[in-house]
Chains A and B, each alone.
Chain A
Amino acid sequence: MKAVTVSNIRKSFKNGKAVTEALRTVSLDVEQGELFGIIGPDGSGKTTLFRILTTLMLADEGTATVDGLEVVKDFREIRKRVGYMPGRFSLYPDLSVEENLTFFATLFNTSIDENYDLVKDIYSQIERFKTRKAGALSGGMKQKLALSCALIHRPTVLFLDEPTTGVDAVSRKEFWELLRNLQRQKITIVVSTPYMDEAGLCDRVALMQQGSILDIDSPQGITGKFSRQLWSARTEKMYDLILSLREMQGIVSCYPFGQVHHVVPEKDFNITQAQDKIRAMGFPDIDLAPIAPTIEDCFMHLMNHPENRMTAGRNNEH
């Protein structure tokens, strides 16, 4: 049995005359015990998908199951089994840390003591503040408390909606380490994030953009499918270089990528020839080098080339 199945789910929202298609025929499966990432910017449909899977919202079309149960028919049973950490801080700010956790445990007919082993790793880090009001915690600690509350009833599937947004690099790293430890307890984890660099920390990821899935695969699988050459480019005059390369014959795209630009050339464009040509264009110090694509390169390529998306074929059938 799959931990989660999503089959041809569609959902749109009406706001006056405007219709927003939040999910446009989305399908995916999550294996049991998997750490599955949904990677996409704001507005890609991540939260809508989570709300449908946690039975808080009905899809317009399509079917979905969680832990083998159907999201519409079996919503009561699903609610007992899933843990959900929404994107916005969802705890009671005027209850203390311990009162929040006790409250969520009581809702599910359990207690902190009964499931302490499951939350111990996380809760022990904030336990010394257990009398502090949740509203007065730092971002990193709020996040740990919210995760403890989502876990206290020993869920089989855990849905985490952007748990690392707005959190600093140290807390982000610690949070991903906690998720890896949780996975060892045989909990399936579905986590969404707008940070492409977190994709590599998941077993498999779905890349989402404007309600559609661009690709689903392991991080290595996604980068392995990048079928173009990719070069890094560097010079003293980085801004001028963007403008020149975007006008240049044989260059498909050029984007700034931190200290270098990433350049996608036409398939048969030779790097030595390109280097000579760019040098002659007024960049005597140009340094071109072939590089391996990151998830972000792949995401951008799929945005620019819809024909390469996994859902391209499927959409045509409808």
Chain B
Amino acid sequence: MSTNTVISVKDLTKRFGSFTAVDHITFDVKPGEIFGFLGANGAGKTTAMRMLCGLSLPTAGEATVAGFDLYRDAEKIKQKIGYMSQRFSLYEDLTIRENIRFYGGIYGLSNQQIKDKTAEMTRNLKLGKEVDSLVKSLPLGWRQKLSFSVAMVHNPRIVFLDEPTGGVDPITRREFWTLIYEAANKGTTVFVTTHYMDEAEYCNRVSIMVDGRIEAMGSPGELKGKYEADDMADVFLKLARGAKRSDN
């Protein structure tokens, strides 16, 4: 792996029987980049992301994530990445402090590191006494910011965000993106899968998957120019309307 790629993927392919879910995708992601991974339902995003997280073996192709080979070092990859989704993130029946301790423990942090992280998050998220309240009692916006911070508890090189900001008010959403910018500014790579096109506008670069292949890749500005579109939704519609398959 060269020093300026943190994810390097070449002809990555996944077949389930006769069905090719991911079909020879190739791309690189740089450190500190916010990379949007877009596609309609059924385009193959989830399958591709599961491979990159070391959860599913490719059928063919090559890839390194955080410097580790996808076939040989899947377990090492898992230690170097963070993951957050809108649906699953924190244990609602544990307090914030307990969630941090739990995830810190899983990622092998020492007691002292966990203590320091807890103090750091309490300060950054302006939590105060709430650190000892149950996650389920927190407003959704706080929960999202907290689950992002928990996904970053072990200072991963890459954080995978799976549709991170659905349902929150527009101010909270922008506070969340400010956190993402901050993480990227410090060198963490942010890999965002989403089918909300306005989220794509926040990314440095995006790729758009259609029927298992990457049909377009570039900065939002480049893609809008190339497809003569006003916004990313328009780019996406122009590409995805030609899709043959959906998730049925």
Contacts and interface: CB of A to CB of B under 8 A. Distances in A.
Interface of A: 40-44, 129, 136-141, 165-171, 173, 194-197, 209, 238-240, 242, 255-259, 296, 299-300, 303-304
Given A42-B140, A170-B40, A258-B220, A138 B246 contact: yes
Interface in B177-224: 177-178, 181-182, 184-185, 195-198, 201-202, 220-221
B3 interface: no
Contact of B220 (A170, A171, A240, A259): A259
Contacts of B177: 256
Given A139-B247, A239-B184, A259-B220, A168 B168 contact: no
A258 B41 CA distance: 23
Contacts of A240: 185
A169 to B, nearest CB: 5
A42 B167 contact: yes
Interface stretch (B16-24, B90-98, B120-128, B236-244): B236-244
B174 A166 contact: no
Given A169-B236, A238-B181, A239-B182, A140 B246 contact: yes
Contact of B171 (A43, A168, A300): A300
B9 interface: no
A193 B66 CA distance: 38
Contacts of B233: 169, 173, 197
A231 B172 CA distance: 20
B240 A170 contact: yes
A167 B182 CA distance: 29
A140 to B, nearest CB: 6
A169 B41 contact: no
Interface string B142-178: 0000000000000000000000001111111010011
Contacts of B166: 165-166, 194
B170 A196 contact: yes
A60 to B, nearest CB: 22
B66 to A, nearest CB: 22
Given A167-B41, A168-B195, 17 more contacts: A138-B247, A139-B41, A168-B240, A169-B40, A169-B196, A169-B236, A169-B240, A170-B241, A171-B40, A194-B167, A195-B196, A209-B169, A239-B182, A255-B171, A257-B174, A259-B220, A303-B171
Nearest to A297: B170
A256 B170 contact: no
Nearest to B221: A259
Nearest to B182: A239
A300 B241 CA distance: 33
Nearest to A303: B171
B170 A296 contact: yes
A139 B76 CA distance: 35
B241 A259 contact: no
Among A43, A167, A256, A300, the most chain B Cβ lie within 10 Å of the Cβ of: A256
B171 A304 contact: yes
B96 to A, nearest CB: 18
A122 to B, nearest CB: 16
A240 B182 CA distance: 9
A140 B243 CA distance: 14
Contacts of B140: 41-43
Contact of A259 (B168, B178, B196, B201): B201
B87 to A, nearest CB: 10
B237 A173 contact: yes
A168 B40 contact: yes
15 contacts: A41-B168, A41-B169, A42-B140, A137-B248, A165-B166, A166-B166, A169-B40, A169-B233, A171-B40, A238-B181, A239-B182, A240-B185, A242-B181, A299-B169, A304-B171
Contacts of B196: 169, 195
B147 to A, nearest CB: 15
Nearest to A255: B174
A300 B243 CA distance: 36
B178 A242 contact: yes
A140 B42 CA distance: 11
Contacts of A141: 248
Contacts of A169: 40, 195-197, 233, 236-237, 240
Contacts of A303: 169-171
Among A165, A209, A296, the most chain B Cβ lie within 10 Å of the Cβ of: A296
Contacts of A136: 248
Contact of A168 (B41, B139, B174): B41
A238 B202 CA distance: 11
Contacts of A42: 140, 167-168
A271 to B, nearest CB: 22
State the 6 A-B residue pairs at the shortest beta-carbon distance, nearest first.
Answer: A258-B201, A138-B248, A42-B167, A41-B169, A255-B174, A239-B181
A133 to B, nearest CB: 12
Nearest to A260: B201
B221 A299 contact: no
A257 B202 CA distance: 7
Contacts of A238: 181
A239 B171 CA distance: 16
Nearest to B39: A168
